[in-house]
Structure 1
Amino acid sequence: ARKDTDRSYLLGLANTKLVRVLLEAIAPTLNFEVGQISKLPVLTNRDSFGLERIKKLISLARADWDAYETSWDFTTLPLVVATWDAARDLAAGYVALRARWQAATDEMRRLEIENNRLFIDAYGLQDELSPDVPLSEVTLTCNPHYRYSSSYSKARREARLRRDTAAELVSYAVGCVFGRYALDRPGLVLANQGDTLADYMRAVPNPTLTPVEQNALTLVEGDWFADDLVTRVRAFVQAAFGDEHLPDNLAWLQDALAKDLGAYLRRDFYGDHVRLYKKRPIYWLFSSPKGAFQALVYLHRYRDDTVSQVLALLREHRGKLQAEIGRLQGAIDNDATSQRDRARASRALPALQRDLAEITAYERDTLHPLASQRLALDLDDGVAVNYARLGAALKAI
């Protein structure tokens, strides 16, 4: 009990305005070493500083941290649970979640002000320091005043928070699509090297959403594939929240993202993912130089035939491009084609020809040679080392 009290006291002290002032006097530099920390004056009577208040502050901070998938203790996305509690309506779920976030922020701020006041009073510095804590210093990720630039207007902060929350939902959806997560159980499901769909089905025998069997999904412009990452994320929204609100839920998601779901997944998702995981992504994007062909895979389900699966998808896409180019060229050459249809075909043809040339070169020079190697990865080597092994086959990060 004494140890808990001492730890509580030291944590409370270390997170006050008071300690900042003391450290600035002891060590007027940009960083603090152990020696400077050890010089902080501490009081011998520590029982009056409130263990429960410190525990509550820790609990609020931990709950906020664990609400995001980069936490080791992440279980499920709060927006999903909030939407389930709101009759599976995403818009209503977000409103309820935003209110809970604000309540947590307000409570954290209140407790931090109280913590400051107790320590400032104990050290007799009431006339020197104010216990107040600006909203921008309440260090919860769910607090947009802390999370975003102080130059943002209120409307811009709220729009950015809504957008990022929608992006987090898409990221969680991608995790469910590949089997990293499940709607039916908390925490990680497939997260060990070489995990398979069979492993998932043993862990989640009757899943609400069955993950993709093959560890590769395309992300190409247009409706070339009936089963791609875009259709799978839409299927996640339907499986998670049902049919009743499906059009409204998809509309909310796209409105929050400020763009079409397909456009977000093809153009923005991977950049967001790489930033979230600090250039150590768990989903890897195979991409031709200008993105005419793209396919996403999940690192923890990677096997030595994964590149061959991607290659098969590329060849399928190449075949479809060739067929469409042939159809358009035939329309242009056919005297019976109307002038309007010939003009439309003439406009569409060059872009498809460029895409075909790009993915043909990507297949020949990069993807086919790599697939032939049946390259194995060792996750113990780390993401950076393994990412480099696949080289130009992957989108540069």
Structure 2
Amino acid sequence: MATLIKDKFEAWEKETRTRFEQLKANEEELNKIFIELYGLQDELDYHVDDKEVSVSLADRERDIKSLISYAVGCMFGRYSLDEEGLIFAGGKFDMSRYQKFKPDKDNILLITDDEYFQDDESDIVLKFIDFITVVYGKETLEENLDYIADVLPGSGTSREKIRKYFVTKFYKEHLATYKKRPIYWQFDSGKDVGVRGLFYLHRYDKNLLGNLRTVYLDKLKQAYNSRIELRESQKLATTNAGDVARYNKEISNLNKKLKELRNFDEKVGHLALKKIELDLDDGVIVNYDKLQRDPDTGEKFMILTKGVQEPKEKK
């Protein structure tokens, strides 16, 4: 049965308001007893300010972003729609624990500024849309995407706003939530967004970088080249000056992405050959640096988004 996120949120909002008011009333009643017991009626006020109540009210923007974060967790297998609580944070990964919604099998999801792969589960936005469809139903999909996108910054269609959020905001907020000790790590080729993508730290293995390069980066290069060819042919087929300018701008941007992607590909290729092993007991700071550093020469290849501090040098 299809469900509206709007209805779910309003029910949650009502529940948190009831809980909030009850707790506030309880705290005020305790204050009254205390004040009367010690004869402090002229000294103290029993009323409790809303900001001092220890239960939070529903907040649509915060709660929608929590839903997005939970969805990402399901995409990587940290959570499952079939079981409550944390499902995977290390050990042997068991795909059979995920029946309603399958996590990504390769532990790599690309974040691109446009939909270059139709119906491809390696695109995080398409995977997110699939998640919303599975959880809330196909019939309410568009209304639910609109409701989600309404609290996200920027303009455009719901899908465009959700995509922009993943490209520009999700990882920054993830870093803040986890106090710069992220559990999802973001590949990042640079300012032209040639490629960005997430993987789940607890599912990392030494072959991940090689898989990223041979499967995902090659596929993305092909997608950029195909888009450039399409825009070149469209440019030749039109006499509209505005369209020509728009095509030229997109072609220029795509060429910048391709150049950046090729440079990134070289870095990943170098590190992939090293088959770097991570030890989660060493912590995020050490491993974030380790994954980007040649274990033989110590040279660093920046392939992850900045935001995690450098490890302290050993004395």
**Is 1:210 aligned to 2:120, yes or no?**
no
Distance 2:80 2:184 in 1: 16
Distance 1:362 1:163 in 2: 34
Alignment counterpart, residue 24 of structure 2, candidates 105, 109, 119: 109
Shift of 1:324: 3.3
SS at match of 1:339: coil
Q: Tell me: CA distance 1:301–1:113, structure 2 relative to 1, closer, same or farther (3 Å).
A: same
Shift of 1:346: 2.2
Shift of 1:344: 4.1
Give me the TM-score of the superposition, normalised by structure 1. Answer: 0.67
**Equivalent residue for 1:236?**
131
**Is 1:169 aligned to 2:84, yes or no?**
no
**Equivalent residue for 2:295?**
none
Letter in 2 for 1:177: M
**Equivalent residue for 2:281?**
380
Confirm or deny: 8 A CA contact 1:220 1:293 kept in the other structure: yes
Confirm or deny: 8 A CA contact 1:112 1:133 kept in the other structure: yes
**Equivalent residue for 1:143?**
57
SS at match of 1:223: coil
Distance 2:95 2:170 in 1: 25
Confirm or deny: 8 A CA contact 1:173 1:233 kept in the other structure: yes
Shift of 1:315: 2.1
SS at match of 1:256: coil
Letter in 2 for 1:309: N
SS at match of 1:210: coil
SS at match of 1:257: coil
Distance 1:120 1:387 in 2: 54
Alignment counterpart, residue 164 of structure 2, candidates 257, 263, 282: 263
Alignment counterpart, residue 149 of structure 2, candidates 236, 247, 254: 254
Any residues of structure 2 matched to 1:3-82 within 5 Å, and which?
A: none
Residue-by-residue CA offset, 1:361-383 (whole Å, 9 max, x unaligned): 1222x222121211111111112
**Equivalent residue for 1:53?**
none
Letter in 2 for 1:218: L
Q: Which runs of 5+ in 1 are unaligned?
A: 1-83, 145-160
**Equivalent residue for 1:320?**
223
Distance 1:121 1:339 in 2: 85
**Equivalent residue for 2:86?**
188
Any residues of structure 2 matched to 1:289-368 within 5 Å, and which?
A: 289-290=190-191, 291-312=193-214, 313-329=216-232, 337-340=237-240, 342-364=244-266, 366-368=267-269
Indicate the structure (1 or 2) with the bigger Cα radius of gyration.
1
Confirm or deny: 8 A CA contact 1:163 1:258 kept in the other structure: no
**Equivalent residue for 1:126?**
41
Shift of 1:322: 2.9
Shift of 1:182: 1.1
Distance 2:42 2:260 in 1: 70
Letter in 1 for 2:217: L
Distance 1:338 1:242 in 2: 41
Confirm or deny: 8 A CA contact 1:180 1:191 kept in the other structure: yes
**Equivalent residue for 1:274?**
175
Letter in 2 for 1:166: I
Shift of 1:117: 2.5
**Equivalent residue for 1:285?**
186
Distance 2:224 2:136 in 1: 36
Distance 1:252 1:189 in 2: 28
Distance 1:390 1:182 in 2: 28
Give me the TM-score of the superposition, normalised by structure 2. Answer: 0.84
Distance 1:376 1:192 in 2: 14
Residue-by-residue CA offset, 1:64-92 (whole Å, 9 max, x unaligned): xxxxxxxxxxxxxxxxxxxx9xx622111
Confirm or deny: 8 A CA contact 1:189 1:200 kept in the other structure: no
SS at match of 1:377: coil
Shift of 1:343: 4.2
TM-align CA RMSD: 2.1
Higher RCO, Cα 8 Å, sep 6+: 2
SS at match of 2:151: helix
**Equivalent residue for 1:150?**
none
